[in-house]
Amino acid sequence: MSETHTIGFLVFEGAKMLDIAGPSEVFAEANLSGTDYRISMLTADGGGVQTSIGVRISADESAFSESRWDTVLIAGGEPFPSKPVPAELASAAEHLAQRAGRLASICTGAFVLGAAGLLDGRRSTTHWKHAGELARRYPKSTVEPDLIFVRDREIYSSAGVTAGIDLALSLLEEDHGSNLARTVARSLVVYMQRAGGQSQFSVALDGPSPRTPALRAVIDQVKADPTAEYSLESLARIALVSPRHLTRLFHENLETTPGRYVELIRFELAKAHLDAGHSVTMAAELAGFGSSESLRRVFVHRLGMSPGRYQRRFLSTDPARAESSSTSVALTTVSAVRQEVVDEHS
């Protein structure tokens, strides 16, 4: 008989249901193989709450009880980061941290950890859309926007929604080894360790345009004509500033260099063309990359996977449709066919 492992879930009004159900299923599936995970729902006031999909969850006890927990998981939800974390919820997280062997957040649950001061001096992550806000609100934490989950001593944080399942599998592996974690992953038909980080799901160019006219002029020009040749000097001429001043503006406003930002614009355009079903060769050409090999290098660097692999993952939820769509587009030219074969083995 396996030793009992107690898990408390801190939930609140509007908590995302999948943040609760996904990790819970990992531990429930492990119990079928002989573990003894016991899950309890905790709320700040001990009362029930309504989740993001309208289903009500009853609390097993108050988060302020004197119970001790092996693991506490904090769900995410739409209230954060658009609203401040209520003081009572932050206090509940702080109280639980003193009574738990390890404390973990799922998605925007990281904002609850931050409000409780539990991310200070630690690395953390959250959903890619909200990583910038987490870093702004809690500057004492080093936010890792591309990681699926982060462990910093006894505090864990994970990215959006299904990343809670990745985190739960990792916790299971810590408790009972990789063989059981792998068995549970196979049973739930999920990856034991997914390839790439959050960048494969994000839209890096989303968000407000820079306020500086010089930067807006450069970005608008590159988006309008991504296939043109852009040197630092030519970009400075577009911005009507010196190359040195343009470099400083990019560092101060976008925390990157002009050249890297041009690459990012082309990368996002290439992803959009791949999502639309274009071949790797065509996507590279339309996005302004010199060759499909150049595009491949950028994809591997940013996502840890080739363009072809990215496309097969995101073109369709139906493998047969994804394969047929990719093939039909690839057949438009002999060179596209050859490139698809090369990329298939990359």
- CB burial readout 227-252, b (16+ within 10 A) else e: eeebeeeebbebbebebeebbebbee
Report pLDDT for 9. 97
Cis peptide before 81 (omega within 30 of 0): yes
Report pLDDT for 203. 43
Burial class (CB in 10 A: 0-12, 13-18, 19+), 17: middle
Sorted by where each starts, the structural domains of the chain and their CATH numbers stand as 4-200 (3.40.50.880), 213-344 (1.10.10.60)
pLDDT in tens, the chain (346 residues): 579 999 999 999 999 999 999 999 999 999 999 999 999 999 999 999 999 999 999 999 999 999 999 999 999 998 888 899 999 999 999 999 999 999 999 999 999 999 999 999 999 999 988 988 999 999 999 998 878 889 999 999 998 778 899 899 989 989 998 889 888 988 887 766 555 555 444 444 544 557 788 888 888 788 777 778 899 999 999 999 999 999 999 888 888 899 988 888 888 888 877 877 788 998 888 888 888 999 999 988 888 888 888 877 655 444 444 444 444 333 332 333 334 334 433 4
- Left (φ > 0), alpha (ψ -120 to 50) or beta: where does 161 sit? left
Distance CA(310)–CA(305), nearest Å, equals 7
CB contact at 8 A, 111 and 134? yes
- Provide the token pair at 307: 């363009």
Report pLDDT for 118. 98
Report pLDDT for 342. 41
DSSP type of residue 308 = H
Report pLDDT for 226. 78
Report pLDDT for 193. 57
Q: Is 275 helix (H, G, I), strand (E, B) or coil?
A: helix
- Provide the token pair at 46: 């001990």
Cα radius of gyration rounded to whole Å, the chain = 23
